[in-house]
Amino acid sequence: MSELLQVRDLHVKFVTPDRTVNAVNGVSFDVKRGETLGILGESGSGKSVTLRSILRLHPEHRTRWGGSIKLEGDEVLTMGKSALSDLRGQRVAMIFQEPATAFDPVFTIGHQIAETVRRHTGKGEADSWSRARELLEMVRIPSPAQRLKAYPHEMSGGMRQRAMIALALSCNPALLLADEPTTALDATVQIQVLLLIRELQREFNVGVIFVTHDIGVAVEVSDRIGVMYAGKIVELAPVEQMVDAPRHPYSRGLLASTVHDGMRGQRLEAIPGAPPDLAEVPTGCSFAPRCKFVQPNCIVRPPDLREMGGSHLVRCVLADVQEAGVAA
């Protein structure tokens, strides 16, 4: 498998006259073709900002970028406007969290898929509509010919998200960005949509970055999981290692705070405190104020990302100590 996407030391800063937000502070990861990287984190951890940076969707005049994002060797952060818009939707496509608001309400689903096809393939009006029909069939929307003429508000949430997936796959992208695509859906529909994404991903061999705050979902779909906290990846590991042996105290806390079988009557563990304010660049480890195992040098300087073997990366001074299991 070749490297499809290389993100190196990505920094994203939002600057407004009133305040500055350091949303992403040095994120690095790779995605291969056919692989799914799950990015797990709570609200405000910078996971969606990271994802949207790959398409440079943030308002240009208020956003300061640092580092590098390379798609098949092409640098996205310095790319010209027209090259960027050629890339969007064609080589990299995105599934949004809320299909209800991500479709234009006053155009039909068919129109919105067909216009994307026309934009990137140079197909004619009729060909692009038949391609749109084909795509709706592919995501298993019943009676696709009629659905092409439906407006977004005339469809159910699950159906809209399927149409969104059809739209995203319309130009055979190499990389698919999924921004909490199942969060707005019912539990039963969630699973159907997850399975659909995984199936289509295997069929077309696309790389997927799947952003979510739902650990169950992340474990379900991902090959590797990266845990984000305060704009940094604190741990990145293959899914089995992440589930069986999380090293970072924050990952441990996250995994311990989920409900699973055999927990009846037990107290659910929670991580005390709240995430830090992102207005200032942290001097030490961002998690230190909430960490049970905090050390004196945690506050002095940010810990480096350490390789733990088996492509398991952890950003914690205690990474090797915790191997022994300092659960006490």
The reply on whether position 55 binds another protein by CB under 8 A is yes
Interface with another protein, residue 94, by CB under 8 A = yes
Name the residue nearer to another protein (CB basis): 200 or 237: 200
Q: Give the number of residues in contact with another protein, rule: CB under 8 A.
A: 28
CB of 89 to another protein, least distance (A): 4
Residue 87 within binding range of another protein, rule CB under 8 A: yes
Asked if 246 contacts 257 with a C-beta cutoff of 8 angstroms, the reply is no
Nearer to another protein, 6 or 121 (CB): 121
54 vs 291 by CB, closer to another protein: 54
Long-range contacts formed by 319-327: CB under 8 A, 24+ apart: 319/247, 319/248, 322/247, 322/249, 322/293, 323/245, 323/247, 326/293
Determine if 77 is a binding residue for another protein (CB under 8 A): no
Rounded least distance, CB 79 to another protein, Å: 13
**Could you tell me the smallest distance in angstroms from the CB atom of residue 193 to another protein?**
17
Please, are residues 144 and 182 in contact by the beta-carbon 8 Å criterion?
no
Task: Give whole-number Cα distances, 270 to 203, 215, 226, 250, 315, in Å.
Answer: 39, 14, 20, 11, 21
Selected from 11, 14, 20, 57, the binder of another protein by CB under 8 A is 57
**Residue 181 interacts with another protein (CB under 8 A): yes or no:** no
Nearest distance in Å: CB 15, another protein: 14
Member of 10, 27, 76, 167 binding another protein (CB under 8 A): 167
Of 5-13, 42-50, 81-89, 254-262, the window that binds another protein (rule: CB under 8 A) is 81-89
The answer to whether 23 contacts another protein (rule: CB under 8 A) is no
x/- track of binding to another protein for residues 102-141 (CB under 8 A): xxxxxx-------xx--xx---------------------
How far apart are CB 154 and another protein at their closest, in Å? 8
Interface with another protein, residue 313, by CB under 8 A: no
The 3 state secondary structure assigned to the chain is CCEEEEEEEEEEEEECCCCEEEEEEEEEEEEECCCEEEEECCCCCCHHHHHHHCCCCCCHHHEEEEEEEEECCEECCCCCHHHHHHHECCCEEEECCCHHHHCCCCCCHHHHHHHHHHHHHCCCHHHHHHHHHHHHHHCCCCCHHHHCCCCHHHCCHHHHHHHHHHHHCCCCCCEEEEECCCCCCCHHHHHHHHHHHHHHHHHHCCEEEEEECCHHHHHHHCCEEEEEECCEEEEEEEHHHHHHCCCCHHHHHHHHCCCCCCCCCCCCCCCCCCCCCCCCCCCCCCCHHHCCCCCHHHCCCCCCCEECCCCCEECCCCCCHHHHCCCC
Shortest distance, position 165 Cβ to another protein, whole Å: 13
In terms of CB distance, is 92 or 298 closer to another protein?
92
Select 119 or 290, whichever has its Cβ closest to another protein: 119
What is the closest distance, in whole angstroms, from the C-beta atom of residue 20 to another protein in the complex? 19
We find the least distance from the C-beta atom of residue 71 to another protein, in angstroms, to be 14
Q: Which residue in the set 2, 18, 43, 61 belongs to the binding site for another protein (CB under 8 A)?
A: 61
Question: What is the binding site for another protein (CB under 8 A)?
Answer: 55, 57, 61, 85-90, 93-94, 96, 98, 101-107, 115-116, 119-120, 151, 153, 167-168
